[in-house]
Amino acid sequence: MKNYQTLWRSIGALSCGSVATYVTVRMLDRRHAHSLEESSSRSQWLKDWDRREHQLIELNAQGDHREVGALRHIVLVRHGEYTKSEEGSHLTELGRLQALRTGQRLNEMGVAWDHVAASTMPRALETASIILKQINFDPLKMKRCELLPEGTPCPAVPPQRRNPNHIEQAYRRDGPRIEAAFRRYFFRASPEQKLDSHLLIIGHANVIRYLVCRALQLPPDAWTRFNLHHGSITWLTVWPNGYVTLRCLSDAGFMPVQQLTHRRPRAPLLKLEA
């Protein structure tokens, strides 16, 4: 009997660390599962996010339960690479080439663009002018939108490595404007719209990332957690019932790897051939 007791004590001493590790891991797993359960219970889709649910309610009251309306496709393009100078921010040679390739890609999609809107900042307007030639869209019909310039949409989580006071001033200045841009462009089509529509927006990384988070009803403060390539294409679709899907995010696969950038250049670039 004593031998068995000695044996079990020896095994216990040897496996104490393993048991403690096992118990700790199990406790962490339970906490993680509980955290996910709480997160899941909070992340419910807000059906009337665009204040247009009454359209479907009115139709249902009339006895029309068919899927009505059309799809709204919203394609967001980030401007090409740029550099800052005393004259302002303008596209580099690579940035112009990126815009050209993006325009060619948009043209290959074979889409009839109903509307085009662009930020009023020079780098966005220069990108737009190159793209419009490729998609055969009348520049006079393009809207220069004062809501789309770059800015800080809201405080980020995790926090940015910048002066907190500067960030607070920035988002108080820019946040309402960028939120207004979301409300201007993101909504479901009216029941009377029979054909799908395509809207092209040419703008900036911060704004596009925030719009994606808002459209998908993800935490808006997550906007810094992903990057966008210069000239990349992001495609969202708004369904008649208010559901929103992301078809692609920062698509730049149509560009050679050597021409992919997402930050301003730190040194002069060599000339590139198209």
Q: What is the pLDDT of residue 191?
A: 87
Burial label, 108 (beta-carbon count in 10 A; 0-12, 13-18, 19+):
exposed
Domain enclosing residue 146, as ranges:
57-259
Are 21 and 101 in the same domain?
Answer: no
Q: Has residue 274 been placed in a domain?
A: no
Distance CA 182, CA 177 (A): 9
Are 5 and 126 in the same domain?
Answer: no
Residue 214 labeled ligand binder: no
Q: What is the pLDDT of residue 192?
A: 87
Are 128 and 16 in the same domain?
Answer: no
Q: Has residue 51 been placed in a domain?
A: no
CATH of the domain at 188: 3.40.50.1240
Burial label, 129 (beta-carbon count in 10 A; 0-12, 13-18, 19+):
middle
Are 160 and 229 in the same domain?
Answer: yes
Are 1 and 97 in the same domain?
Answer: no
pLDDT in tens, the chain (274 residues): 545 455 445 445 444 445 444 444 444 445 544 443 444 445 689 999 999 988 777 766 776 655 667 999 999 999 999 998 877 789 999 999 999 999 999 999 999 999 999 999 999 999 999 999 999 999 999 999 999 999 999 999 998 877 778 888 998 999 999 999 999 999 999 988 999 999 999 999 999 999 999 999 999 999 999 999 999 999 999 999 999 999 999 999 999 999 999 998 875 545 555 5
pLDDT tens digit string along 149-174? 999 999 999 988 777 788 889 989 99
Are 163 and 70 in the same domain?
Answer: yes
Pairing of strands 143-145, 115-119: parallel
Are 39 and 99 in the same domain?
Answer: no
Are 156 and 186 in the same domain?
Answer: yes
Distance CA 153, CA 168 (A): 10
Q: Has residue 264 been placed in a domain?
A: no
Q: Which amino acid is at 273?
A: E
Distance CA 207, CA 152 (A): 8
Q: Has residue 269 been placed in a domain?
A: no
Are 141 and 179 in the same domain?
Answer: yes
Number of domains, the chain: 2
